[in-house]
Structure 1
Amino acid sequence: MTASLSSLTAMGATGRWMFWTLCVCFTAQENTALRVTMRESSLEVARGDFVILPCSFYTSASNHLSRLNIIWTLTPFSSPEAPIQVIVYDHGQVIEDPSLIGRVGFTGLPLSADIMLNDTRVSDAGIYRCMVNNPPEITDPGIGELVLSVLGELSGSVQIVNVSSQTSGLYRCSATNTLGTENCYINLSIYSTPDSPSGILQGVLLTLSMCLLLLALLVLVLWLHHTGQDGRLRKGRGDKDEFYNEIRYTPSLMKRSFV
């Protein structure tokens, strides 16, 4: 009886050992499966700058990366119904989306799936997904995602009414977001001018003065012209009167009449 109990106890211990061995093996196999880790869950970048989109992966077949496959996709905020394939690494070749040629590229192949996106645009904002697969490792592809926000440039203005000399001064415009604070300065100078009614009155008076001056010059010219003609007429008449009143004396005629 004692021997039977000992045998059962030994068999139970052996069974437990085998069970824990299998659990450890399955756990180790699970731990060595392909994993993808996104070091950031969200990023922000100013329009026109560059940004690194991080994607790390672990594979049990790290010594066999000749068939490594990495795919980055983007679901834009502007058109979530139309995701695009950003860039692909497959069998040592890199394929970029035609709309992103020259603006996107891998930074750490084949050990890292990080990509760099430069000259960022508002249309680049959205959800980025990194999918990694490494045959002959038999496992589901590892997938990670992050959200990229692109801050576009905005403009603002202020309107000042009823300006006066007291409105002159240095104005500061301040803009703040998660990337920091920027200031710009504008120096405004106001020069006082005469009121509109008095200015109009001065213009009217000046116009009237010029008109009167021109009228006086015209009258003077006409008077001088008339005076000149009147003098010539009087001179002509005086010559005629002298001609008709003159008694001409001819000595020869007088002598003949007395003979």
Structure 2
Amino acid sequence: MARVLAGPFFCGALLGFLNLSGLAVEVTVPTEPLSRPLGGTAELSCTYSTSVGDNFALEWSFVQPGKPISTSLPILYFTNGHLYPTGSKAERASLLHNPPTGGVATLKLADLHPSDTGTYLCQVNNPPDFYTSGMGLINLTVLVAPSNPLCSQSGSTSVGGSAALRCSSSEGAPKPVYNWVHLGSFPTPPPGSMVQDEVSGQLILTNLSLTSSGTYRCVASNQMGSASCELTLSVTDSSEGRVAGTLIGVLLGVLLLSVAAFCLIRFQKERKKEPKETYRGSDLREDATAPGIFEQASRRAGYSKGLPERSSPASTMATTKSKLSMVV
């Protein structure tokens, strides 16, 4: 039993002795996140307590949002009495107290960019001091006003249909909230027919009517400012379209009938203008053939194709009789 208690007691006493003897490195940073406006200056407070020796070293590094600490990028080093800025922030980074040997290792970052948002690590190393991690974390947010949002729409825009209006800004910190407004003096939409999500910037319109038409404005805002865009929604009535189509068909039919009637009347008038041929019984044509003679001539023509031409007695007699009749 004495051996069991001796272990924890000895370790606690050793830690207490190390702490009292100054072999511990303790780093203190703010617990609350830090916010500064775009283009401004941020002072990231960091203090430490240790017995500064020849091996004292300070390092500031940066971690992008959502990434692990192992991916941190260096900003500056202080070692062997010299300061070494490094990385993309080197020209804008400095120490509030240089050299940082008096217990203050505060980082000063000027001309803040949107890319400066993230986690900053203040790490003090002072061998042979080894107690505690010697590191502190500070979260910095660079405040940026929303950029001009982009408005878009999708869905059916006919009466009774549903449409979705969307609004989004590419920049803005903290993330903007979105608010849609229907411009103009229109009746209040029925409950549930106009639902918006302030986080995603989406406006859902259901059971559309002709009064849903008009201009809609989306306002993106945060604590740094606001920006807006507008969109015009045109709701159409499909029944009016069918009526219009029927009316156009009727008008085309009437037009075709009118053209046909016009052509018919024009044709009738042209026929009336043409001269008509009249036949009078007393008029004789010079090339007319007496009845009976045409038949005999036809028969002779038929026989003449295969036989030598002969004069038949019957036809001679008929001709003689005809001549006698004419003389009498």
TM-score normalised by structure 1 residue count: 0.51
Instruction: State the match for 1:147 in structure 2.
Output: 139
Q: What is the CA-CA distance between 1:94 and the residue it aligns to?
A: 0.9
Any residues of structure 2 matched to 1:188-227 within 5 Å, and which? 195-227=240-272
Secondary structure of residue in 1 paired with 2:206: coil
Deviation at 1:85, TM superposition (A): 1.7
Residue 120 of structure 1: which of 114, 135, 160 is its match? Answer: 114
In the alignment, the residues of structure 2 paired with residue 200 and residue 83 of structure 1 have an alpha-carbon distance, to the nearest angstrom, of: 66
Q: Distance in 2 between matches of 1:195 and 1:55?
A: 69
The Cα shift of 1:202 comes to 1.5
1:85 corresponds to which residue? 73
Question: What is the number of residues matched between the two proteins?
Answer: 200
CA contact (8 A) 2:120 2:138 kept: yes
Give the distance between the partners of 1:75 and 1:202, measured in 2 at CA: 69
* Alignment of 1:55 onto 2:45: yes
Tell me: CA distance 1:162–1:225, structure 2 relative to 1, closer, same or farther (3 Å).
farther
Q: After alignment, is 68-77 or 87-96 more displaced? A: 68-77
CA displacement at 1:107 relative to structure 2: 6.0
1:55–1:144: 8 Å Cα contact kept in structure 2?
no
Change (3 A) 1:160 1:204: same
Q: Distance in 1 between matches of 2:205 and 2:83?
A: 62
Q: 1:201 and 1:226, CA in 2 relative to 1: closer, same or farther beyond 3 A?
A: same
1:105 aligned residue (90, 93, 100): 93
Q: CA RMSD in A?
A: 5.1
Bigger relative contact order, structure 1 or 2, given CA contacts below 8 A and separation 6+? 1
- For the Cα contact (< 8 Å) 2:46–2:136, is it kept in 1? no
Change (3 A) 1:220 1:52: farther
Deviation at 1:187, TM superposition (A): 8.7
Please report how far the alpha carbon of residue 78 of structure 1 lies from its aligned counterpart in structure 2 after TM superposition: 3.3
Write the distance in 1 (CA, Å) between the matches of 2:90 and 2:240: 61
Code of the residue aligned with 1:84 in structure 2: it is S
Answer whether contact 2:62 2:72 (CA < 8 A) is retained. Answer: yes
Query: Which secondary structure does the structure 1 equivalent of 2:30 belong to?
Result: coil
1:221 Cα deviation after fit: 4.2
Q: Identity rate of aligned residues, in percent?
A: 16
CA–CA distance in structure 2, aligned partners of residues 41 and 138 of structure 1: 31
Is residue 44–residue 151 contact of structure 1 (8 Å, CA) maintained in 2?
no
Give the distance between the partners of 1:168 and 1:144, measured in 2 at CA.
56
Cα distance, 1:205–1:74 mapped onto 2, change above 3 Å: same
- Quickly say closer, same or farther: Cα 1:93–1:75, change in 2 above 3 A: closer
> In the alignment, is the contact (CA less than 8 A) between 2:30 and 2:138 conserved in 1?
no
Q: Which amino acid aligns with 1:94?
A: P
Aligned residues of 1:41 and 1:145 also touching (Cα < 8 A): no
Where structure 2 has 5 or more consecutive residues not aligned to the other structure, the ranges are 1-15, 142-172, 177-198, 285-328
* Structure 2 letter corresponding to 1:113: T
Amino acid at match of 2:201: G
What CA distance in whole angstroms lies between the structure 1 residues aligned with 2:91 and 2:251?
Answer: 68
Give the Cα–Cα distance (whole angstroms) in 1 for the partners of residues 90 and 64 of structure 2. 19
User: Contact 1:36–1:55 at 8 Å: present in 2 too?
Assistant: no
Q: Is the 8 A contact 1:55 1:113 kept in 2?
A: yes
> Which whole-Å deviations, capped at 9, do the CAs of 1:122-146 have from their partners, x for residues lacking one?
x954x43111357xx8645842112
Counterpart contact for 1:103–1:119, Cα < 8 Å = no
Task: Determine which structure has the larger helix proportion and give its number.
Answer: 1
Contact 1:34 1:57 in 2 (8 A): no
2:38 paired with 1:38:
no
Distance 1:92 1:44, change over 3 A: closer
- Find the aligned partners of 1:155 and 1:103 in 2 and give their Cα distance: 37
Cα separation, 2, equivalents of 1:172 and 1:103:
42
